[in-house]
């Protein structure tokens, strides 16, 4: 997010906040653990969502849904926070203004 574009932040599993524009790689493994690699020389990885088993696991395209959500809220005109939530037995990305 550069220039006049609003900042988009993502809530990590440990409660940290990650700027969306710092993410260069998203990984969703078979257990449902979603990690991101940050744009820096140390190649730091951060968990956005811990793995789960059975029905508690997020859908296979959950990382793609995050990319879609980032693009949508970036056009909102204000700083936004995105977080993963389990709603009615399914996983969703939720955004809220900061």
Top pLDDT among 76 and 39 is at 39
Tell me the pLDDT band of 4, cut-offs 50, 70 and 90: low
Sequence-ordered strand ranges (E) for the chain: 8-11, 17-19, 23-28, 34-38, 45-49, 80-87, 90-97
Overall pTM surpassing 0.85 (yes/no): no
83/94 Cα distance (integer angstroms)? 5
pLDDT in tens, 36-70: 999 887 788 888 988 776 667 888 899 999 999 99
Burial (CB count <10 Å: 0-12, 13-18, 19+), residue 45: exposed
Could you tell me which of 28, 5, 1, 3 has the C-alpha nearest to residue 77?
Answer: 5
pLDDT of amino acid 6: 67
pLDDT band at 9 (very low <50, low <70, confident <90, very high): very high
């Amino acid at each position: 997010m550069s220039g006049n574009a609003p900042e988009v932040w993502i809530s990590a599993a440990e409660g940290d906040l990650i700027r969306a524009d710092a993410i260069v790689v998203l990984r969703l493994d078979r257990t449902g653990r979603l990690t991101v690699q940050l744009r820096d020389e140390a190649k730091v990885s951060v968990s956005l969502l811990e793995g789960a088993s059975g029905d508690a696991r997020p859908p296979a395209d959950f990382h793609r849904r995050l990319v879609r959500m980032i693009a949508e809220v970036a056009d909102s005109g204000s700083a936004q926070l995105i977080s993963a939530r389990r709603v009615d037995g399914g996983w969703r990305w939720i955004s809220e203004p900061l």
